Amino acid sequence: MLATVFETITIDPRGRAAVITINRPAVLNALNRQTLVELSQAVRGIGLDATFGGAIITGSGPKAFAAGADIKELAVMTPIEAEALSQQGHALMDAIETCGKPVIAAVNGYALGGGCELAMACTIRIAAETAKFGQPEVSLGLIPGYGGTQRLPRLVGKGRALQMILSGKAIDAHEALRIGLVNEVVPAAELLDRAAAVLELMMANAPVALRLAIDAVNRGEDAGLAAACGVEADLFALSATTADRTEGTAAFLNKRKPVFHGA
């Protein structure tokens, strides 16, 4: 179990799920440098901790998931500091995508700028009806710096992504669902329960297979179809070496529930 004490986030176990809550409600859970570091540490720790099968990321309070980067930091940063901050944001998003376990964004309110980018790095996104998404960086004289120019087109298409990025305007949860930015929209009161239920369905499956499936999707995303299928074949073969494959197929043939051990 994670023993690290954090200042800007909390981690609470919910069964085998780790609920990570960004805890800066006074600034709408803005992602300052410390929050980026703590989120990265938390996600990496959860990835290595067999206690947890996955994670949910959400924001504290009813208003915000994460309302972007900390503007006070952005206002005074030098170009060198800006590049370092962008790289720090990229490191967090990479940690989420490569932790080997499903991570669900439970978007409870504003997910703007870095908050939208954080949600996009998660395995899937479930939004409360009150959620809003946007990349408003151009209104500050900046561009998205934590992967928004890359992940958003991959999720919603180039045209819709450019419309969001160049207008800087936020969209509501139902529009986000329509264009494919989120997977589900639920009433705010049901958000965490729904995220936990979806994660539970995923965690019921073989842990190594989950990790390899996530890896196959991520690695194949930017490859040509033939190369991506080659990646899939390699990882399919790797999954066939596991004890979980033996257990899963035996359980199916014997009409019983499998007991996976992540090996």
Catalytic positions, written as ranges: 117, 137
For 94, counting Cβ atoms within 10 Å of its Cβ (0-12 exposed, 13-18 middle, 19+ buried), the class is middle
Question: Residue 195 to residues 101, 161, 189, 244: CA-CA distances in angstroms?
Answer: 14, 25, 12, 25
The answer to whether the CB of 144 falls within 8 A of the CB of 176 is no
Residues 6+ apart with CB under 8 A from 186: 126, 127, 128, 129, 194
Q: How far is CA 30 from CA 26, 57, 79, 255, in A?
A: 9, 14, 21, 49
